Each structure stands twice: as structure tokens, then as C-alpha cells.
Amino acid sequence: MRLRDKIALITGGNSGIGLATAERFVEEGARVAITGRDQKTLDAAVTKLGPNALAIQADLTEDGAAERAVAATIERFGALDILFLNAGIAGNTPVGATSRAQFEQVLATNLTAVFFTVQAAAPHLKEGGSIILNGSVHQVLGIPGASAYAASKGGIGAMNRVLASEFAPRGIRVNNVVPGATRTPIWRTFAATSEELEKLEAVYSRGIPLGHLGEAVDIANAVLFLASDEARHVTGTEIVVDGGTIGAPAGAPIFRAET
């Protein structure tokens, strides 16, 4: 059991990467609080996760929501060792067709809410604890139409290093997991039907050296490592889980002679 007796708070734990991480954490002995806005998927997640899970309904872009989520976690489990700042939204914000409200919603969710959740949890995190941020390959890839999303995730990459410095005196580690394209419900933002989703996946897969999207559990396993004491000397850095998208782009199917 790699997380025996640890207590974790996972934002956006009712879906995709957050839910897969909650499952891995519970399997490894942790007690886990999850947040999300949607009560139905929160209830379904807790049913799946079992008695060592607590669901907290919270929109983390609202003032006081993070403080309530942290307080509910402490009230139920008594402490906090691990914080996974996973909640996030996609956003299509091309130049020429983007309102200020759309742009700011992405930043508010993916960046500002992350900082204020860390701030809310900070007084309660135990020495030796672990904070994990959720970045994206958008941090560096320059994918068109994604200015707000890329800026939010670039901000996560920068903030990761600042937070690692700030928390180092308390022995709390801070790291960023950087997923590439991963099969989760977030892709519904760009594809209304299953056929559209399939097409989108096929296009994206051609740019991934390993030839396919990641699964949520692939990211969860990296988060599990960062959360565990196996990573006790790892802070201020990133683990990229992207099938080679950033590190070995020339190996992607799209560049192979036969394709």
C-alpha cells in the first residue's frame, strides 16, 4: 500500500483523470475527498470509490468554495497529506471569435482557482505532504485556437516552481503532471457525437509518437508516484505523460515515410 493512512483532496474527482486518480489512491490505502460541480457524477463516483471517499460539491471559481472543501475534508478525515489540483476546463478561444468572459472563465478555472485552493489548503497540509498540479502539453505546443487554455497551463508550469520554493521550508513537495491528449469526457467540448470524437482521436493520434491517446489511469499512475513517499526527493519539477508528443515529436506517425 503506497498511500497507507494518507488523506488526499482531489479537485475534479468526479470525472476523467481526477476520478481515475481517486480510484488508484483508494486502492493504495488513502482516504480521498473529491470535488466537482455536478452532484450526480459526484454521487456516482463515491458509490464507485466506497467508504473511504467523500464527495464535496463545489465550484472552485466561487469565493469561499475551496475553503469549504478543505474544511469538509478536515472535518471528515482529520488531516490533509495530498492535494491534487486537477479540476479544469477546455476552451476554444481563437483570435477574432472570443469574448472576454470566455477567456477569463478558462483562466479563472484552470489557474486562479488552483492558486486559491492551494492557499485554502496550505495551513492544513502536513509536513512531508505533496501537492500535484495538472498542466498540459499545451504549455509548450502552441496549438492554434487555445490561447486561454495554453496560457492557463503555462501559468501552472510557472506557478509550480514558485510553489515548490514556497513550500520547501515545510518539507511539502510541489510538482506538475503534464498530460498529453488523454481519453476523458473533456473531449466532448470539441466533439458533439461519438463519430466526431472518433475522427478527432484519429487526427490527434497521428501526432503522438506512441500512436494513441493516453488513458486517465496513465496520468493517475504518475500522480500516484508524485503523491507517494517514493517521490520524497522530487519537487519543483514535471512528469510528462504524453506518449512522446513533446519529447520525440519526429517519431509521430504523421512523420513516418509509410503514412
- Residues that bind ligand NDP in the complex, under the rule CB under 6 A: 11-12, 14-18, 35-38, 41, 58-61, 86-89, 109, 134, 136, 179, 181-182, 184-186
Residue 45 beta carbon to ligand NDP: minimum distance, rounded to whole angstroms: 9
Handedness of CA 186, 43, 134, 96 (dihedral sign): positive
Alpha helices in the chain (DSSP H): 16-27, 39-49, 65-77, 100-107, 113-121, 138-141, 147-167, 194-205, 216-227
Side chain identity, residue 169: P
Could you tell me if 164 and 156 are in contact, meaning their C-beta atoms sit under 8 angstroms apart? Answer: no
Of the candidates 172, 105, 178, which has an alpha carbon nearest to the alpha carbon of residue 137? 178
Residue 155 beta carbon to ligand NDP: minimum distance, rounded to whole angstroms: 12
The C-alpha cell at 121 is 489548503
The length of the chain, given as a count of residues: 259
Q: Indicate if 204 belongs to the active site.
A: no
Residue 89 beta carbon to ligand NDP: minimum distance, rounded to whole angstroms: 5
From 25, 77, 84, 149, the catalytic residue: 149
Residue 52 beta carbon to ligand NDP: minimum distance, rounded to whole angstroms: 19
Active site residues per annotation: 149
